[in-house]
Structure 1
Amino acid sequence: CDISFYIPLSVNTPSQLKLNKFNNLIYKKYHNNIKTDHQLTLWNKPLGLTSMYNKSKLTKLELTNIGITPRQRSIIIGILLSDGWMQSRKGWNPRIAIKQSVKNFNYLWSIFEELASLCSIYPYPSKNLKRGKLFYSLTLQTRQLKSLLLIRSLLYTEVSKNLFERDIQFELFYYLDYISLAHWIKGDGAKHNNGIVLCTDSFTVKEVVFLMNILYIKFDIQPRKHMNNNYYPRLSISKKDMLKIRPLIRPYFINHFLYKIYL
């Protein structure tokens, strides 16, 4: 959800100058430390901001040659199972986007540090007026990349020409790992009865049951399904199972979200 700054606000939105000032404050301590280098990165480790291309526009060949690492693939899958979404335009490859409240800036920036090699711009701010209050948020989006087609095939089906709907495929079983699970919990997880509830409200019952089976077989836990407000299916992980997986997902958590796994 979005966050509102705790100041009285009218229905009048601030000027673009104020929004630019907000943007500058957010990035002041971050972007000055980015340097260009050619150091090797250890296998399956974060690539960091230095992996970001300096060119905002790339040729078709350059875009085709941008691949994703197994670590990035796992992160993206976890994001798409929670707060992220995939955009597919006619004649273009897909891209990933995720929007977060400014209070979750540290989380969004940690994702950007992981996916910088896939992005052309920094996360950008936006504002929304809801019930007379102004809310600020930040959106991260990748380039439109051919290397994201595999992930799209795991989570989406083309129902008509250039129109895709989410439809989790069996092959997701082979790609969902502890990194994905950590990002899934960070995005959509909440503390519940000394365990965790995954807010899978936008999933069908069939998809939730399939995800339950993946969690049971791959991670040796026994999640339960319950209906939120008698309509939306959700997954709950017991305290016992949470304690079992916590040491394995802890390395992929930032301090901001440790409370979700009772740390």
Structure 2
Amino acid sequence: MNKPIFEFLVGNLLGDASIKRTVTGKAYITFEQSLKKSEYLNYLHELVKSNGIPLNKEYPTVYSRQDDRFGVTNKSLYFRTEALEELKPLADMFLDESGKKIVPKNISEVLTERGLAHWIMDDGQRVKRGGVTLCTDSFNSEEVSTLRNALNTNFNLVTTIHNKKSSSGSMYERIYVNKDSLELIKPTLSSHLHDSMLYKINLDRDFKQDTEGFISDSDIITDIDIFDI
């Protein structure tokens, strides 16, 4: 696996992508996004395919989930790779013995600007006042701390923890990347961001293309949503 492929897969695995082991000692990665982000999902599909990673189907598949809480059906697009021996090292990094996704302890050694861009495209939320929030909801406090250290060590990014309260009342941690420090690496990040994801780091809409159709209320964090500790 060449370096650019490895780098963007690391970023996506910190985000929405999932990785699983097989009983034959191989591993496969699944990519999934909501239908409103189909352009981005199709971009990932082409990126994986063009880099020679075999896929189990030629085209992404529409998947529907029934949300009984609100009586609606949510639709998403997904695709996955074939089970491959070359993906096993990533599975060993990102999965514990039970198969749960974790933050690799050596993440600072493998997280690059390309990987950070893919992480932001997957799990970043636009902050109107500047900066960006990384939705690390599925990681524990120790893992979030490890990620913050990597962001500071690798990119000199200044971060804080923002607590987010779920509808059930539980609290989880998200990483807010300081506006001023993010501005310094925006030029490099933008070269790795798909056009439809530029809004996440508050780049001008005329920078590449208008991305109005890809912004929803759930993708934007206002000052009211943020609780610093």
How would you bin the TM-score normalised by the shorter chain? 0.7 to 0.9
1:197-236 to 2 correspondences below 5 Å? 197-229=133-165, 231-236=171-176
Structure 2 counterpart SS, 1:253 = coil
Task: Say if 2:31 is the partner of 1:94.
Answer: no
Cα distance, 1:242 vs. partner? Answer: 1.6
Cα 1:167/1:137, change in 2 over 3 Å: closer
Name the TM-score, length of structure 2 as normaliser: 0.79
Give 2:75's match in structure 1, choosing from 129, 136, 139.
136
Partner of 1:82: 15
1:89-238 to 2 correspondences below 5 Å? 89-116=22-49, 117-118=52-53, 119-121=55-57, 122-130=59-67, 131-158=70-97, 163-192=98-127, 193-229=129-165, 231-238=171-178
Partner of 1:59: none
| Distance in 2 separating the partners of 1:92 and 1:150 | 10
Amino acid at match of 1:138: L
> C-alpha deviations, 1:78-119, integer Å up to 9, x for none?
111111111223234111002111111111111111111221
> C-alpha deviations, 1:200-252, integer Å up to 9, x for none?
01101000001111110110111112221272011001110121121111011
Q: Which runs of 5+ in 2 are unaligned?
A: 204-229
| Distance in 1 separating the partners of 2:104 and 2:192 | 25
Count of residue pairs brought into register by the alignment: 192
Partner of 1:243: 183
Cα distance, 1:138 vs. partner? Answer: 0.8
Amino acid at match of 1:199: C
| Distance in 2 separating the partners of 1:252 and 1:202 | 25
| Distance in 2 separating the partners of 1:186 and 1:171 | 22
Identical residues among aligned pairs (%): 27
Partner of 1:70: 3
Cα 1:168/1:135, change in 2 over 3 Å: closer
Amino acid at match of 2:21: S
Amino acid at match of 1:144: A
Structure 2 counterpart SS, 1:169 = coil
Amino acid at match of 2:90: I
The answer to whether the 8 A contact 2:130-2:201 is kept is: no
Structure 2 counterpart SS, 1:170 = coil
| Distance in 2 separating the partners of 1:186 and 1:93 | 27
Q: Which runs of 5+ in 1 are unaligned?
A: 1-67
Amino acid at match of 1:261: I
Question: Which runs of structure 1 show a deviation greater than 4 angstroms over 4 or more consecutive aligned residues?
Answer: none
> C-alpha deviations, 1:59-79, integer Å up to 9, x for none?
xxxxxxxxx321111111111
The answer to whether the 8 A contact 1:155-1:172 is kept is: no
